[in-house]
């Protein structure tokens, strides 16, 4: 997200239908904007969808960010 002091706004969603419906982005309210699953003892993949809004004035370059997750069980 930071490249030479420049910021790029973005949102993360649980599904493409959440994005198009204007549903809440990922958050911390269990049952509302979190992911629910059942542990299987094996590795599981959880898809995350992102969107970068238009209309941002940006400096060309490489942008990156770190997203932290919390697993509650």
pLDDT single digits (tens) 8-18: 888 888 777 76
Rounded Cα distance between 48 and 44, Å, is 13
How many independent structural domains does the chain possess? 1
What's the pLDDT score for residue 2? 43
- Chain-centroid distance of CA 54 in Å reads 17
- Residues lower than pLDDT 70 in the chain: 1-5, 18-24
Taking the C-alpha atoms of residue 6 and residue 37, their distance in angstroms, rounded to an integer, is 36
Alpha helices for the chain (secondary structure H):
16-21
Can you give the pLDDT at residue 34? 83
The whole domain housing 8 covers 1-73
Instruction: Quote the CA–CA distance of 8 and 53 in Å, as a whole number.
Output: 9
Beta-bridge mates of residue 51: 11
- Res 3: pLDDT: 42
pTM over cut 0.85: no
């Amino acid at each position: 997200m930071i490249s030479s002091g420049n910021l790029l706004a973005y949102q993360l969603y649980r599904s493409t239908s959440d994005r198009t419906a204007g549903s809440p982005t990922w958050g911390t309210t269990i049952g509302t904007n979190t992911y629910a699953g059942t542990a299987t003892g094996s590795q599981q993949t959880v898809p995350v969808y992102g969107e970068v809004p238009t209309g941002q004035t940006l400096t060309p370059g490489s942008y990156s960010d770190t997203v932290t997750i919390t697993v509650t069980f």
